[in-house]
Chains A and B, each alone.
Chain A
Amino acid sequence: MLDSADLAAIGLTLQLATLTTAILLVIGTPVAWWLARTRSLWKGVVSALVAMPIVLPPTVLGFYLLVALGPNGPLGVITHSLGLGILPFTFAGLVLASTIYSLPFVVQPLQNAFEAIAEQTLEAAGTLRASPWDTFFSVALPMARPGYLTACVLGFAHTIGEFGVVLMIGGNIPGQTRVVSVQIYDHVEAMEFGHAHLLSAGMLIFAFFVLLLLYTLNPTGRRS
């Protein structure tokens, strides 16, 4: 059966995914809104930057984060002077890495949802004297609800499935950075296939039901 180390890894992974998704919704909303509405020349550049984690091997991201966040790296110097300490091998470091890693999985569904809102709808709200903020919260946000559901599910699930980045900057510390995917890897490497099966099957079932939920609540192609 699952031992206490497995359960600790599961708890930690859920914490990481929840926190990361919450942060990504806060950061992702303005970025997605801007990308959906802007005519700026920078749109291409920002879109490319946001999408990069999809294309890059996690090891590239992990390697650069390890170097950049280290005490000699540019980001490490900043976090140290801010009193945050050095982030690799900490839970905070994993949150930062996951936020970068899962960014496109939250921004892109939100952007699609915002783009689907007709300009006229927003203008109509404007003619009724709604402030831009009011328009956003009373009109755009409710209309983008399916996009938010997709963003939450994908951001959460993708963070749960993260492995390469964690392996590179985690240091495999119980309760801090030893997430489920790393725990599975350890079990397989140590040839404890029974434990590996339990956790892996759990992940498989989780992935299926999360996606089932997504496609049931949010069927593609039926939105008006």
Chain B
Amino acid sequence: MFSGKSSRIANPVAWAVLIGLLTGWMHPVRADVVSVAVAANFSTPMKVIVAEFARDTGHQAEPSFGATGKLHTQIVHGAPFEMLLAADDVTCGKLVQAGLAMEQTRRTYAVGRLVLWSSRPGFVDDRGEILKSGDFRHLALAAPRLAPYGAAAIETLTALGLVDKLQSRFVQGENIAQAYQFITSGNAELGFVALSQVMVDGGIREGSAWIVPEASHRPLRQEAVILKRGENRPAALAFLDYLTGPRAQTVLQAFGYRLETR
């Protein structure tokens, strides 16, 4: 059919049409798709919620995971996300101020809990006394300058008056996922991570833990917002409602998040 020069021109066009047809066919017209930037600490519950969201509403949410700060930088530089689920309660506000997100869609979707955790059973007592006895070489935490859970860990240690004493034993992960890695590989005996990382079906999955009282640090509120690019996306609004609705909140609780009391 195509010969000589014309095939060189016609082929890319044919491919574009074919790809367009295929992708159009894969996503039924009626259902909408929203691309969501999601804080890495929320990746496990997000996957569950996305599946239930698709089943219940027919819409698709396509998550991309990353550290909140990195996602923020990407969005500022034009990343094609339509919604953000941040791990803190300041990033969404910054995007609103920059004119990149819509204030009226800003919601707290989860409140995280900090936990002092060790992969060894019986190592961490349920009041965190081990921090005072100091019977360990390394204490893992997320970088306090970059990660809300890292900042919460420092606030907790400050409240206990232990920052100066323990500072030399800190090993910092870039985020809590890395702090978790340091502990689970045994390189750090214990550390501060998110309850959602070590909780399964309402219980600590392995090892030993002290669930840090919330009074010892600022609440770990996680906010979501719809970005300017997602303004006219029905799926974006639908997902925001779903996320703060009863079905998703049940999932969140099982993963160790507290609900926002209104």
Contacts and interface: CB of A to CB of B under 8 A. Distances in A.
Interface stretch (A29-37, A100-108, A115-123, A167-175): A167-175
A72 interface: yes
Contact of B143 (A76, A88, A172, A188): A172
Given A66-B181, A67-B185, A172 B172 contact: yes
B69 A88 contact: no
A140 to B, nearest CB: 42
B73 interface: yes
Nearest to A173: B171
A190 B171 contact: no
A189 B70 contact: yes
Give chain B's interface residue range (CB within 8 Å of chain A).
20 to 34
8 contacts: A66-B187, A71-B187, A88-B187, A89-B187, A168-B178, A168-B181, A171-B172, A172-B143
Given A171-B172, A173-B171, A190-B145, A70 B185 contact: yes
A191 B69 contact: yes
Contact of A173 (B172, B181, B186): B172
Nearest 6 interchain pairs by C-beta: A171-B171, A172-B172, A70-B185, A88-B187, A71-B186, A70-B186
Nearest to A67: B185
Interface string B115-138: 000000000000000000000011
B146 A186 contact: yes
Contacts of A189: 67, 69-70, 143, 145-146, 174
B170 A173 contact: yes
A86 interface: yes
Given A67-B185, A171-B173, 15 more contacts: A66-B182, A69-B187, A70-B187, A73-B186, A86-B137, A89-B188, A167-B178, A168-B178, A168-B181, A171-B138, A171-B182, A171-B188, A172-B173, A172-B174, A191-B69
Contacts of B143: 172, 186, 189
A185 B187 CA distance: 23
Interface string A50-79: 000000000000000011011111001000
A171 B146 CA distance: 14
B211 to A, nearest CB: 24
Interface of A is mostly: loop
Interface string A181-200: 00001101111000000000
A186 B145 contact: yes
A174 B182 CA distance: 17
B256 to A, nearest CB: 25
Interface string B155-174: 00000000000000011111
B185 A66 contact: yes
A167 B145 CA distance: 16
Interface string B60-78: 0000000101100100000
A137 B186 CA distance: 46
A191 B73 contact: yes
Contacts of A172: 143, 171-174
Nearest to A192: B145
Nearest to A93: B187
A89 B171 contact: yes
B92 to A, nearest CB: 16
A86 B186 CA distance: 10
Interface in A156-215: 167-168, 171-173, 185-186, 188-191
Contact of A89 (B67, B70, B138, B174): B138
B161 to A, nearest CB: 22
A71 B188 CA distance: 9
A72 B186 contact: yes
Contacts of A67: 185
Contacts of B146: 186, 189-190
Interface string B218-233: 0000000000000000
A110 B95 CA distance: 53
Nearest to B67: A189
Contacts of B67: 189
Nearest to A185: B174
B19 to A, nearest CB: 29
Nearest to A66: B185
Nearest to B179: A171
Interface in B211-252: none
A176 B155 CA distance: 24
A29 B13 CA distance: 56
Contacts of A88: 182, 185, 187
Residue from the set B143, B172, B174, B187 with the largest chain A CB neighbour count within 10 Å: B187
